[in-house]
Amino acid sequence: MNEAAGTAVIGLGSPLMGDDGVGLAALARLRERFAGDAGVDWIDGGTAGLALLPALESARRVLLLDAIDAGAAPGTVVELEGDALPRRLSAKLSPHQVDVAELLALAALRGAEPAELVAIGVQPERVALGVGLSEPVATALAGVVEGASARLRAWGHRGTGDGHAGGDPARRRG
CA dist 47 and 6 (Å) reads 23
User: Which residue segment(s) compose the domain that 151 sits in?
Assistant: 7-173
Residue 125: phi, psi to the nearest 5? -95, -40
* In-domain check, residue 1: no
Q: What is the CATH number of the domain that holds 23?
A: 3.40.50.1450
For the entire predicted model, the pTM comes to 0.85
Q: What is the pLDDT of residues 133-171, one digit of tens each?
A: 999 999 999 999 999 999 999 999 986 654 444 333 344
pLDDT digits (tens, 9 = 90+) for 43-69: 999 988 889 999 999 999 999 999 999
| Mean pLDDT, rounded, for 108-112 | 93
Q: What percent of the chain has pLDDT over 70?
A: 83
Nearest by Cα to 151 from 125, 124, 123, 171: 171
Asked if residue 2 is part of any domain, the answer here is no
The answer to whether residue 16 sits within a structural domain is yes
Q: How many domains is the chain partitioned into structurally?
A: 1
- For residue 71, give Cα distances in angstroms to 34, 123, 128, 153, 174: 31, 7, 17, 29, 12
Helix ranges (DSSP H) in 34-134: 53-58, 100-109
State pLDDT tens for residues 67-109.
999 999 999 999 999 989 888 776 544 444 568 888 999 999 9
| Confidence grade of residue 36 (pLDDT, cut at 50, 70, 90) | confident
At residue 98, the pLDDT reads 66
